[in-house]
């Protein structure tokens, strides 16, 4: 079904005017207005053909009305495309009743059952407008309901010329059946689409709440500890002046806490920016060895404290086509994790080689590794509890998630191979220079 919609261009039509700046609920209402306009165009063209064939009374006038209404429906698409959503919706809810009013007044009367559509159009405002527009919803509901009541109790059957198709009772009944089936189908389609998107909104709300809980958890645990350590030590310094060796040792611990807090905060901000689609990707040709050296310099204290040995096998002159900030964040997260989960005096190996049109970077550690369940959660982007490092370092559980999303933005990829107690090997692919 999705493939068929894509080929017919209907999906693109339904998404006219939908932008990243719109919230999910607003996007759904824009899509619904496009859907109703599309159905309106289809039904007006269809009935123009039917009226002409059946020689309905004043069918020339009705065809003229249908032409104007179809033009206005196209204007609904245009206004949505230009971001004038409110105008688009108000035009739509008023214009859809016009052909029904005309056909039930001048042409068919109550014979074809077209006035049943007024009941359908009475509920359309409830899915197109938000609760803030409740008075418009009430007005449009009462207007369409009044039209229905008028034709149901005060309307008269149409007068059809003898010899035409509509003079036959079975043809009139056929139009009535078509009206009932069309009304039910219209309601079912709109409500199904509405329910489908309500389901999307509910899932998005669950995802947002999960992200909010994760952010609060990180702020409460992963930043509270280092901040408390820094506060306690600075308080100690204000009360007494320690010996030089104690001072140097304390300052090293203080710097370690600051670096840990910085990495946690940076990972959190990168993740939030990517989730809210505010990350800007500006790729250019960059020397990979330079990027790698800058990252290793930042993490050098962390590696030195655990006596981790770096082993690099990276060509000095190879360039990749990437966003510098995003790629630096990816490398920093990957190498920081490699240090964190490596045993003291361990080794982290970094290799780079060409694979097709990509550079593949491999980062291998001989640390504690990961279980298959944890690895599966990371790959699927599910929430999980980050394990402590080999000397008690705490992580956010966001590092690899951020890396996968940032690499995806640049046309790259990430793959993880890991076994408990045997270490982890991470494969990163980024496009080569252009």
Nearest CA among 102, 191, 180, 97 for reference residue 146: 97
E strand or H helix at 312, and its extent? strand 309-313
Q: What is the pLDDT of residue 274?
A: 63
Lowest average pLDDT, out of 263-267, 283-287, 325-329, 409-413, goes to 263-267
Q: Contact, 154 vs 122, CB < 8 A?
A: no
Of the pLDDT bands very low, low, confident and very high (cuts 50, 70, 90), residue 260 is: low
Q: What's the CATH code, domain 281-431?
A: 3.30.565.10
pLDDT higher at 145 or 241 = 145
Angle at 60 between CA 98 and CA 96, to 5 degrees: 15
The pTM of the whole model exceeds 0.85: no
Per-residue pLDDT band for 221 (boundaries 50, 70, 90) equals low
Q: Indicate the helix (H) or strand (E) that contains 296.
A: helix 288-298
181 class by beta-carbon count within 10 Å (0-12 exposed, 13-18 middle, 19+ buried)? exposed
Distance CA 429, CA 357 (A): 9
Phi, psi of 226, deg, nearest 5: -60, -40
User: Does residue 428 carry a pLDDT above 80?
Assistant: yes
- The ranges assigned to domains in the chain are 2-207, 281-431
Mean pLDDT computed over 55-65? 88
CA distance 346 to 369: 13
How confident is the prediction for the chain on average, in pLDDT?
81
Of 380, 378, 357, nearest to 369 by C-alpha is: 378
Residue 157's nearest CA partner among 143, 169, 142, 140 is: 169
Percent of the chain with pLDDT over 70: 84
173 has pLDDT over 70: yes
* pLDDT of the residue at 74: 93
In angstroms, how far is CA 162 from the centroid of its own chain?
A: 59
Query: DSSP for 118-135?
Result: HHHHHHHHHHHS-GGGHH
Find residue 414's DSSP bridge partners.
428
Close Cβ partners of 307 (under 8 Å, ≥ 6 residues apart): 344, 345
Other C-beta atoms lying within 10 Å of the C-beta of residue 386: 19
Q: Which pLDDT tens digit goes with each residue over 288-345?
A: 888 888 888 878 877 887 888 888 888 888 888 888 888 888 888 888 888 888 888 8
Contacts of 110 (CB under 8 A, 6+ apart): 104, 151, 152, 155, 156, 157, 158
Summarize the confidence of residues 226-252 as an average pLDDT.
Answer: 73
DSSP state of 166: G
Residue 239 pLDDT: 75
* Integer Cα distance of 23 and 90 in angstroms: 20
CA distance 278 to 273: 5
pLDDT of residue 68: 93
Phi first, then psi: what are they for 433, rounded to 5°? -60, 150
In angstroms, the CA 10 to CA 34 distance is: 10
What is the Cα–Cα distance from 298 to 309, expressed in whole angstroms?
Answer: 15
Residue closest to 430 by CA, chosen among 322, 330, 334: 322
pLDDT of residue 345: 87
Compute the CA torsion angle 184, 187, 193, 194 (nearest 10 deg). -150
Q: Are 59 and 114 contacting, i.e. CB atoms less than 8 angstroms apart?
A: no
Of residues 331 and 400, more confidence is placed in 331
Res. 70 pLDDT band, cuts 50 70 90: very high
Q: In whole angstroms, how large is the CA radius of gyration of the chain?
A: 33
How is residue 250 written in tokens? 């304390």
Tokens of 87: 């105008």
pLDDT score, position 1: 43
What confidence score (pLDDT) does residue 5 get?
Answer: 45
For the segment 33-49, the average pLDDT, to the nearest whole number, is 88
């Amino acid at each position: 079904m999705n493939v068929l919609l894509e080929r017919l261009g209907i999906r693109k039509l339904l998404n006219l005017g939908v932008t990243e700046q719109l919230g999910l609920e607003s996007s759904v209402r824009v899509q619904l207005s496009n859907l109703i306009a599309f159905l309106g165009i289809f039904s007006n063209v269809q009935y123009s053909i039917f009226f002409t064939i059946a020689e309905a009374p004043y069918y020339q006038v009705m065809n003229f009305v249908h032409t104007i209404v179809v033009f206005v429906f196209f204007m609904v698409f245009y206004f949505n495309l230009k971001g004038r959503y409110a105008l688009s919706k108000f035009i739509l809810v008023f214009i859809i009743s016009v052909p029904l009013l005309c056909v039930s007044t001048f042409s068919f009367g109550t014979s074809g059952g077209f006035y049943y559509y007024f009941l359908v159009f009475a509920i359309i405002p409830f899915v197109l407008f938000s609760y803030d527009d409740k008075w418009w919803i009430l007005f449009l509901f009462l207007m369409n309901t009044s039209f229905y009541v008028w034709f149901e109790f005060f309307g008269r059957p149409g007068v059809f010329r003898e010899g035409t198709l509509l003079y036959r009772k079975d043809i009139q009944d056929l139009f009535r059946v078509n009206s009932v089936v069309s009304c039910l189908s219209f309601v079912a389609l709109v409500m199904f689409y509405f329910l489908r998107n309500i389901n999307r909104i509910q899932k998005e709300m669950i995802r947002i709440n999960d992200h909010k809980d994760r952010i609060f958890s990180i702020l409460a645990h992963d930043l509270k500890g280092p901040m408390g350590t820094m506060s306690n030590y600075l308080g100690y310094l204000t009360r007494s002046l320690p010996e030089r060796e104690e001072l140097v040792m304390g300052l090293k611990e203080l710097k370690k806490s600051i670096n840990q807090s910085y990495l946690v905060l940076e990972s959190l901000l990168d993740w939030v920016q990517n989730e809210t689609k505010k990350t800007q990707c500006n790729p250019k040709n960059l020397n990979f060895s330079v990027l790698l050296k800058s990252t290793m310099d930042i993490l050098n204290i962390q590696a030195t404290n655990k006596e981790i040995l770096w082993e690099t096998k990276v060509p000095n002159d190879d360039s990749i086509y990437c966003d510098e900030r995003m790629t630096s964040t990816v490398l920093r997260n990957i190498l920081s994790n490699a240090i964190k989960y490596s045993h003291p005096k361990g080794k982290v190996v970094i290799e780079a080689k060409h694979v097709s049109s990509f550079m593949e970077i491999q980062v291998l550690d001989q640390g504690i590794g990961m279980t298959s369940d944890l690895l599966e959660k990371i790959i699927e982007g599910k929430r999980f509890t980050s394990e402590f490092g080999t000397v008690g370092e705490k992580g956010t559980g966001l590092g690899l998630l951020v890396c996968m999303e940032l690499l995806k933005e640049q046309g790259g990829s990430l793959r993880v191979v890991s076994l408990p107690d045997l270490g982890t090997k991470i494969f990163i692919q980024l496009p080569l220079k252009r």
